[in-house]
Amino acid sequence: MTEGDSEPEQSTSAVAFASPPALVAGARAPLPRSARPASRDAFFRDAKICPDSTCVLAAAEDRSLSLFDLTNEASPEWKPRWTWQPSDALLSYEWFPGATSLNPPFFAFTAAVKDHPIHLLDGNDQRVRASYPIIDHRERFIAPHAMAFSPDGSKLYCGFENAIEILDVGRPGGTEESGGITKMRGKLQRDGKTNQRLGFDIDPTGQWLVAGDTNGKVSVFGAEFDPHNAEPVTSFEVAQGSVGSVNFTPDGKHLVTCAGARSFVQPSQSDDDDSDAEDEPDPESDITQKDSLQVWKL
């Protein structure tokens, strides 16, 4: 970042949970382009907030990625600025450190799509700025399931099942080194009997850790928890299904949650194999449209 550029706003005051957060905005996920025969999936899986707290990227079950402006949260209809549809499954994505819509050169994010190189994309028009291919022993592109930048944006850490690849952002196309997975320090207990990812986050002051569960609740823990007795300070309900993602905005003023789960439609039971057409379910009727992406004021 050059001299004179403004740093993203960070919270300097403690976040309090004396009362449940207030819901201020919500958005529905895109409907699937072609629902699979036994499922109706329309929800956001997770979201990542821009470092300047002005917008959020949200990944939906239909593989799309949408950009929402948090500055328009008071709008009756919270609509995305754009929606990007990759050519295959979106495995992970991450904002560039210091990204802000007020400084176009820094307004960028990475996207890892199955069987493709990692791309650094422009936050305004999704054009490819740089590519970082990772190739396996069979000479095929592989994409990481998790990514994280170093604070200065010079390194990109890419997480795979058994290793972490480290890329030099200034040299597209080269893997610098890899490493194993470190030992776990402790664990928090939550309801999480699902194949979906259930995310967590720590507030900007480092005081609180929030995590969603499969019962539609967000639990708040002290970030410096006792691994042997980690009970939540408080919990509150945000949805009726799984809460796959919960994040503090960098300014510490809001929480952003994503809720929803895969649902499977059971075939109708009938003794008559030649039942009338009106007894067959309408494909659209099994899609429950609710606000999957929500913003909560602290």
* Of 26-30, 76-80, 122-126, 197-201, highest mean pLDDT: 122-126
Beta bridge mates, 90: 113
When comparing pLDDT for 143 and 231, which is higher? 143
pLDDT digits 0-9 by tens, 220-243: 888 887 777 678 888 888 888 889
At residue 191, does pLDDT exceed 50? Answer: yes
pLDDT at residue number 125: 96
**The pLDDT of residue 186 is above 80:** no
Can you tell me the mean pLDDT for 36-64? 84
| Strand 155-159 relative to strand 146-149, pairing | antiparallel
Of all residues in the chain, the percent with pLDDT exceeding 70 is: 70
Q: Is the pLDDT of residue 204 over 60?
A: yes
Residue-level pLDDT at 274: 47
pLDDT at 78 over 60: yes
- pLDDT-derived band at 66, boundaries 50, 70, 90: very high
| Residue 292 pLDDT greater than 80, yes or no | yes
Say what percent of the chain tops pLDDT 90. 45
Q: Has residue 154 got a pLDDT over 90?
A: yes
Q: Are 70 and 49 a contacting pair, CB within 8 Å?
A: yes
Q: How far apart are CA 130 and CA 132, in angstroms?
A: 7
Provide the pLDDT for residue 144.
Answer: 95
| pLDDT tens track for 107-132 | 999 999 999 999 999 999 999 999 99
279, pLDDT greater than 50: no
Confidence check: pLDDT of 250 > 70: yes
Q: Are 101 and 71 in contact (CB under 8 A)?
A: no
HEC-encoded secondary structure of the chain: CCCCCCCCCCCCCCCCCCCCCEEEEEEECCCCCCCCCCECCCCEEEEEECCCCCEEEEEECCCCEEEEEHHHCCCCCCCCCEEECCCCCEEEEEECCCCCCCCHHHCEEEEEECCCCEEEEECCCCCEEEEECCECCCCCECCCCEEEECCCCCEEEEECCCCEEEEECCCCCCEEEEECCCCCCCCCCCCCCCCCCCCEEECCCCCEEEEECCCCEEEEEECCCCCCCCCCCEEEECCCCCEEEEEECCCCCEEEEEECCCCECCCCCCCCCCCCHHHCCCHHHHCCCCEEEEEEEC
pLDDT at 7: 54
pLDDT: which is higher, 55 or 16: 55
